[in-house]
Amino acid sequence: MSGNVVVVCGGKWHDFDYVRPRLRTTLAAHADADMFEDYTCVPALRQAASLITYTCDQRPDPDQQRGLVEFVRDGGRWLALHGTNSAIDPPGRSGRYGTPRVFGPVSAVLGSRFVAHPPIGSYRVEISRPDHRLVAGLAPFEVRDELYVCELYPPLEVLLHTRFRGSCPGFAEGHERDDDVHPVLYLRRHGRGEVCYLTLGHCRTDPARSTPDRGSWDNPQFQELLTRCAAWAVGPEGRTS
């Protein structure tokens, strides 16, 4: 392995060819990265300190689930972006997408499981922990992105959040929720390691659109967050053996 960072970037419904070089550029100042498109990366994690994932509907098999859990448990840092926690089945007769529970113990380690999102639109991201170094100095900001409604696995240290109360009609579990506060950036400990999850980052090239949908990727606050989170992932406090 050429570096100490493993990156997984691949899956469905997103422009991974756009995101992959953006991640390389973000990481260039910190460490070399070994790129994968799925969880065949797990053997490489044995010599890695950091894992960064930007995926959608990438479903680790049982052996890969164990490897991911052990990586964090033994001191690894995992920066999970956008759709990492998502498994999405095509619409059935109801015309709604399913979000099955197929990640096994990985969902609890990640701290969340994607359930649904309302139609893409603008929403306000609020600062939950202004004293934390990952968000210090940031002011609330607006994004146009997918607002993730998730099943949560606490305890979570929520750093950014947004508010939404309503239904997500395109999803089988998209009924209205009681809680209108949804994490956007959080940390979750597991064993000696830690996960940092940032739900922002939708990006898609749609042939029906005249211009690509870059979501938050051109947003200065998102770019700053991504830079800080990447530095966290490869920081000296991470696993060294």
Residues 118-164: tens digit of each pLDDT: 999 999 999 999 999 999 999 999 999 999 999 999 999 999 999 99
Q: In the structure, what pLDDT confidence band is assigned to residue 237 with cuts at 50, 70 and 90? A: low
Q: Would you say residue 241 lies in a domain?
A: no
Q: In the structure, what pLDDT confidence band is assigned to residue 29 with cuts at 50, 70 and 90? A: confident
pLDDT at position 92 is 84
Strands 181-190 and 157-163: antiparallel
Quote the pTM value.
0.95
Placement of tokens 């139609």 in the chain: 119
Evaluate if residue 170 carries a pLDDT over 80. yes
- Cis omega (within 30 of 0) for bond into 62: no
Number of domains in the chain: 1
Residues 60-94: tens digit of each pLDDT: 999 999 999 999 999 999 999 999 999 999 998 88
Q: In the structure, what pLDDT confidence band is assigned to residue 28 with cuts at 50, 70 and 90? A: confident
Kindly report the CATH number assigned to the domain that includes residue 38. Answer: 3.40.50.880
Evaluate if residue 205 carries a pLDDT over 60. yes
Whether residue 82 contacts residue 200, with contact meaning beta carbons closer than 8 Å, is answered with: yes
Q: Would you say residue 238 lies in a domain?
A: no
Q: Would you say residue 178 lies in a domain?
A: yes
Evaluate if residue 97 carries a pLDDT over 50. yes
pLDDT at position 2 is 37
Evaluate if residue 215 carries a pLDDT over 70. yes
Q: Would you say residue 38 lies in a domain?
A: yes
Q: Would you say residue 170 lies in a domain?
A: yes
Average pLDDT of every residue of the chain: 93
Closest residue by Cα to residue 52 from 180, 230, 236: 230
Q: Would you say residue 240 lies in a domain?
A: no
What is the share, in percent, of the chain residues with pLDDT greater than 90? 87
Q: Would you say residue 151 lies in a domain?
A: yes
Range(s) of the domain holding residue 200: 5-233
Q: Where are the alpha helices (DSSP H) in 97-219?
A: 106-110
Evaluate if residue 239 carries a pLDDT over 60. no
